[in-house]
A = this chain, B = another copy of it.
Amino acid sequence: MKRSTFLKMTALAGTAFTVLPSSSVFGHPSGRLRIGFIGTGLRGQELLRLSLMRDDTEVTCICDIQEVMLNSALRLFEKAGKPSPKIYTGNDYAYREMLEKEDIDAVIIATPWEWHYPMAMDAMDAGKHVGCEVMMGTTVDEHWNIVHKTRETGLQYMMLENVCYRRDVMAVLQMVRQGLFGELIHLQGGYQHDLREVKFNNGQQPYGGGVEFGEKGFSEARWRTQHSVTRNGDLYPTHGIGPLSKMLNIHAGNRFTSLVSMASKARGLHEYIVEHGGADHPNAKVEFKLGDVVTTMIRTAGGETVLLQHDTSLPRPYSLGFRVQGTKGLWMDLNESLHIEGLTKPHRWEEAKAWLEKFDHPLWQRYGNDAKGAGHGGMDFFVIHAFLEAIKRGEPTPISVYDSAAWSVITPLSEWSVANNSNSIEFPDFTQGGWKTGKQIFANSDDY
């Protein structure tokens, strides 16, 4: 079907931008969802482990180019008592063979950022739904292409943004929905995480022990660090914007309209290399383009403002820096406190703990035990659960392709603004107007 025809049809159907998959897997002989994994590095292994725990899902094939990672992945199948998958490996494009040969409903992609786009496009061309680790693409055009591809194929693309499912964040979402903060006004989030021992290691261990990256690095240092060499902007916006987006009802009556970013100078990574590898280490000559702290401001059609911060190259405690503020009060995660007019003392903070427990999300109440031991404090369980449930049932994923695109495109927009003296850039409307009538389907129940 031509894209234009498809758009017309969906518009006529009154579901201007919600692509409904054409069928669910309940018709399969096995009754189970069949999926493949592209990328079984450390991140892929955690998503794999959670998928293998499920009775409704069969992981029939996996693909990676590193033997050590494939072997670790295979051990997860053994441990889970699940049949060994078909393995695809040998070259960067082995995944294409897997997509061509395997009868699977969906793929989960957990590869370096720059591979997400071609792999997702290829997967959808092969008729597979896509659950992809965060960051959709590198350029604005790539984000549009993914969106168009879902509309052309009727397939779903969900970015596996796990922080949307963080327990405290979901409790705050409940409080937002019940109006405790009044009308939302200003929100903050970000990614403030000292990644220096992720960006550099000794080529054998994933974290630290050396100042190598790229070919000589291991795990994320093999690919992630290079982005700090060549790019300057908010390289990792989704952990902050994802949850805030759901509170703001983005694409359910609201959308992001414009963005500005400002970057500080770059010092942290160079200093780390000099300190831990010496001034004569070859990497001490590398010039890192990524500013140590990059701050981004986004405005919405609803008139709210969102502040995002990216801070991964300096010594600091981990903090996503959430702030959710409305006409009746605000919550901040840094001091784990909130203030709600009429319910807490005037002009005073109150510890958030009891409130977060009181407004614990039904999903966490139902699945909190299952999530125990899952990565990142349990939230990885929920994001995989949501993707697999939605695909299995043939229902829209709670994080849509439009959400995924809008969250991930912040990076290229931010790069543009930083490169253009922090001038303002318009936010693309991937829904092409559909945001006005879109319905909120994220975490509305204890289902998924």
A residues within 8 Å of B by Cβ? 182-183, 185-186, 194, 258, 260, 262-265, 267-268, 271, 291-293, 295, 297, 299, 302-305, 307, 311, 314-318, 325-330, 332, 334-335, 339-341, 346-349, 421-424
Contacts and interface: CB of A to CB of B under 8 A. Distances in A.
B422 A258 contact: yes
Contacts of A307: 295, 307
Contact of A186 (B303, B311, B330, B421): B311
27 contacts: A182-B271, A185-B264, A185-B267, A185-B293, A186-B292, A258-B421, A260-B423, A262-B297, A264-B303, A264-B304, A264-B305, A265-B303, A268-B327, A271-B327, A291-B305, A295-B305, A307-B307, A314-B326, A316-B329, A316-B330, A316-B339, A316-B347, A317-B349, A332-B334, A334-B334, A335-B335, A423-B424
Contact of A318 (B305, B329, B347): B347
A341 B313 CA distance: 13
A78 to B, nearest CB: 34
A335 B329 CA distance: 18
A307 B339 CA distance: 23
A416 to B, nearest CB: 13
A347 B293 contact: no
Contact of A262 (B265, B305, B335): B305
Q: Sorted from nearest, which 8 A-B pairs have the closest CB atoms?
A: A265-B303, A186-B293, A315-B341, A264-B305, A262-B297, A422-B424, A335-B335, A421-B424
A306 to B, nearest CB: 9
Contacts of A327: 267-268, 271, 292, 314-315
In the assembly, how many copies of this chain are there?
2
Contacts of A194: 347
Contacts of A186: 264, 292-293, 295, 311
A433 to B, nearest CB: 21
Given A194-B347, A297-B422, 15 more contacts: A185-B292, A186-B295, A258-B421, A262-B297, A265-B302, A267-B327, A271-B327, A293-B305, A314-B327, A315-B327, A315-B339, A317-B339, A317-B349, A423-B424, A424-B424
Nearest to A266: B303
A260 B258 contact: no
Contact of A297 (B182, B268, B295): B295
Contacts of A268: 185, 327
B329 A325 contact: no
Contacts of A340: 315
A77 to B, nearest CB: 33
A305 B263 contact: yes
A307 B321 CA distance: 14
A317 B424 CA distance: 31
Contacts of A348: 317
Contacts of A422: 258, 260, 297, 299, 424
Given A186-B292, A303-B265, A347-B318, A260 B297 contact: yes
Contact of A304 (B265, B297, B299): B265
A346 B196 CA distance: 12
Contacts of A264: 185-186, 303-305
Nearest to A293: B186
A348 B349 CA distance: 22
A262 B260 contact: yes
A269 to B, nearest CB: 10
A311 B188 CA distance: 14
